[in-house]
Amino acid sequence: MAFPTDWSHKLAITIDHTKIDSDLSNWTLVFDQAFDSVLTSVNGPLDADGTRSMIDGGGDIRFSSDADGLNQLAIDVRAAVIDNDPASGELELAINVPSVSSSIDTTIYMWWGKSGETQPDVSDTYGQYNAYDSTHKIVISFRDWNDRTSNGHDFDINDTGDATNNNAGGAIGRYGEFDGNDIRRTTTTIVQSGNFAMEAVAKRNSSTGNSEQAIAGHSSTGTKQLSINFTVSSAYWGGYLGSNRAGKVSGSYSNWPDSVNWHHAVFLRSGFPSHTLYFDGGSPSVHSIYNSTSNNVQFLGSSYSNTSECINGQISEYRFHSDTRSTAWIKANYNNFMNVSGFLTWGSIDDGGSGDITGTVGIVFDNGGDLKGDGSLIGTTNGLIFVGSGDLKGDGLLAVNTGIVFDVSGNVSDTGGVAGSTSLAFIITGSLTSTTDAIARLVIDPAPLKEGLLGGLNNIIKSQPWVQWFSKLTAKPALDVPNDKTKFLRGDDTWDYSQLRFYSQDAEPTLSSDNESAFWKDTDDSNKVYLVFKRGDGDQVKVLLS
């Protein structure tokens, strides 16, 4: 069954528009479990023995740009590991957000909670490769040396030393460790000319090592051409283009690469000969460089196959883009990678689904917000309890059997109707609404009902203009019902005795006046009891009560 049917849980994630300088298209959001405590909460998505666990491996994770799940988004599940201790679980995701506004907040929705699901194929519309736009030529998350895009530019050659990947504690997810003598490079040649952007999140280990250290390079094995570097002895980052440092863009920064904090750097060309260096989302440094790029392999840990510029540090994310990126894009990436306070706002887990919510003996749906279902809310046996401080909403049927309790401090609304048998209790401080005549088979023993429910029945249930509420009532002093009187509450909110009649016969009685009503015991069919009434349009309707 297609998404979002039967997905049980969702979580809203909102991007603050005040931290987006201009509108973005097909921008990639990334996050891990450390971004917000809701991800590692008890009974959250990573709690293996909790009530809202995702599938280990993340097969059931989906994203949408709307609350109803109608507009699915492409995602890359980099990691999804559940644990009985959710704080020990792990989650790392990348999501293609089609449109990020600079004028209003952008909200996307993470869904999970459907057994037996697997992620779409990597090349599927909603699969891994499409989590990144076509300008992403290389994306390395350092869980391994593999490119996350469809281009397949893996850093699978150990040029020298022994760099390690999959180390816990990256700026996002994992990081690669380079000890000052480690270089990885691609097997494939990256075809590149014209504009580009080289991007990295990195930090150094200490003040030791080479005086100038390169995070990455796009070069031949013997001559460097394009690289992104920082120095140890003086506080600057630099971007180089051309052999023997023929072109350089550098900037001096007070918070230059240190051994404590992760830093974000981007070196790009945005139209020959303009080249720009961005550091930690700050003002760019711009320089004219009259050199060009060519098709080459790429290196991680050095500018080319030369250990004299090897980094002694860590890299948490590396990306190479086949075209320039806007200042707004780069700043958004910085805010995202560094999890800048306020950039993302995380909602609470919503246990509403778009399919049926089905309960059996002793099941409790306890939800702090709204409980919503586009299918049906179905209770199959005794002891099903819906407890909600918000609204209980269903576009299908609220269908229950004996011993069901709806305890809702908000409203109960439903476009399909309400059906139930005896001992059905609604404890509602708001309103109970139905927009179809499916409500017609509602039989209530009033014993568990609160006085307040009957006090405002004129607007509590709305089915059609010709009937708002009926019930089978027995004498209960707390409800102020006269002894042994069965009453029918009309749509005008009055107790009407004059038109209420009782029949015990083998044929349905024929009512003569509009809005006339009667109780009929069918002696020809097991003494079943019906409510019979004649609508204002002249049609006669009967409803089984017991």
Tens-of-pLDDT digits for all 546 residues of the chain? 468 888 999 999 999 999 999 999 999 999 999 999 999 999 999 999 999 999 999 999 999 999 999 999 999 999 999 999 999 999 999 999 999 999 999 999 999 999 999 999 999 999 999 999 999 999 999 999 999 999 999 999 999 999 999 999 999 999 999 999 999 999 999 999 899 999 999 998 876 788 888 999 999 888 878 888 887 766 566 777 765 454 667 766 655 667 788 999 999 999 988 889 898 988 888 887 878 888 999 999 999 998 999 999 999 999 999 999 999 999 999 999 999 999 999 999 998 644 444 444 444 454 444 454 444 444 444 444 454 444 454 444 444 443 344 444 444 544 444 444 333 344 444 444 443 332 322 333 333 232 222 222 322 232 222 222 333 332 222 223 333 333 333 333 333 333 456 677 889 988 877 666 676 778 888 878 777 777 667 788 787 765
Tell me, what's the pLDDT at 466? 22
Spatial distance between the Cα atoms of 442 and 399, rounded to a whole number of angstroms: 10
**DSSP-derived secondary structure letter, 371:** E
- The reply to whether the predicted model has a pTM over 0.85 is no
Cis before 4 (ω within 30): yes
Helices (H), 298-384: 327-337
Place of tokens 């989906």: 62
Nearest of 338, 367, 368, 347 to residue 36 by alpha carbon: 347
The per-residue pLDDT for range 199-244, each reduced to its tens digit, is 999 998 876 788 888 999 999 888 878 888 887 766 566 777 765 4
Q: What is the dihedral sign for C-alpha 428, 377, 368, 424? A: positive
Q: Using CB atoms within 10 Å of the CB of residue 1, give its burial: 0 to 12 exposed, 13 to 18 middle, 19+ buried.
A: exposed
Q: What is the pLDDT of residue 318?
A: 98
Burial level of 362, CB count in 10 A (0-12/13-18/19+)? exposed
Strands (E), 325-410: 344-346, 357-359, 364-367, 371-373, 377-379, 385-388, 392-394, 398-399, 405-408
Question: How many angstroms separate the first and last alpha carbons of the chain?
Answer: 37
Q: Yes or no: say if 357 and 378 are a contact pair by the CB < 8 Å rule.
A: yes
Integer Cα distance of 85 and 352 in angstroms:
25
Q: What angle do CA 273, 276, 277 make, to 5 degrees?
A: 150
Structural contact between residues 209 and 216, judged by C-beta atoms closer than 8 angstroms: no
Distances from the Cα of 459 to the Cαs of 252, 430, 462, 467, 545, in angstroms? 69, 10, 7, 11, 22
Greatest extent of the chain over all pairs of C-alpha atoms, in Å: 106
Q: Report DSSP state, residue 70.
A: -
pLDDT for the residue numbered 257: 63
Domains in the chain (CATH in brackets) are: 1-132+338-352 (no CATH), 136-324 (2.60.120.200), 357-469 (no CATH)
